[in-house]
Amino acid sequence: MVSNLNFLYLFFNLYSMKKYKLIIKENCLEDALSISQQIPEFEDLYPKSELDSRLQKVKHLILTAYLKEKPVGFKIGYETESKQNFYSWIGGVLPKYRKFSIAQNLMAYQEQWVKRHGYLRIIVKTRIKHMAMIQLLEKNDYVKMGTIPFNPEQETRILFEKKL
């Protein structure tokens, strides 16, 4: 019975996705923060002051994805000190919207923006425990550049890059 309910839920959501267009907007920090507070994997949320501090003096991009006018995903990144690289810092999609390519759409939008602004590569750091993110990066031709060991191992960071 549970699998039938899951199927119906998935079918309904797929139908809804076709019915409502995904909209991606730039510079909606408040909505991005609201989404981040609803993502269960984010144990240590960045306060707004930390986001403001990191983004204040650098070129940056804040993306927020909306479905039926509801914010459902976000991606935030900024220019590195070298001015040649763009660091894709933080992002996520609300759990009930994760199977609908929202992260893929945010990534594609970010990559196009980064190319238009003349950066040479995108750098991303994630954790071993975020397998869905690792798979998304690999699917999109990001290359693993190294790791930063942590204890416990699931907290180990993996550094990826994509040359543009």
pLDDT tens, position by position, 67-95: 999 999 999 999 999 999 999 999 999 99
Q: What is the pLDDT of residue 50?
A: 85
Strand runs labelled E in 21-59:
23-26
Contacts of 37 (CB under 8 A, 6+ apart): 45
Helix, strand, coil share of the chain (percent; to 5): 40, 30, 30
Q: 133-156, pLDDT tens digit by residue?
A: 999 999 999 999 999 999 999 999
What pLDDT digit, counting tens, does each position of 15-69 carry? 445 567 999 999 999 999 999 999 998 877 888 888 888 899 999 999 999 999 9
pLDDT at 159 over 90: yes
pLDDT of residue 52: 86
Does the pLDDT value for residue 3 go beyond 50? no
Please report, for the chain, the start and end positions of each structural domain, with discontinuous segments joined by +.
22-163
- pTM higher than 0.75: yes
Exposure string of 89-103, with b = 16+ CB inside 10 Å and e = fewer, is: bbbbbbeebeebebb
CATH architecture of 22-163: 3-Layer(aba) Sandwich (3.40)
Q: What is the mean pLDDT of the chain?
A: 89
d(CA 35, CA 15): 23
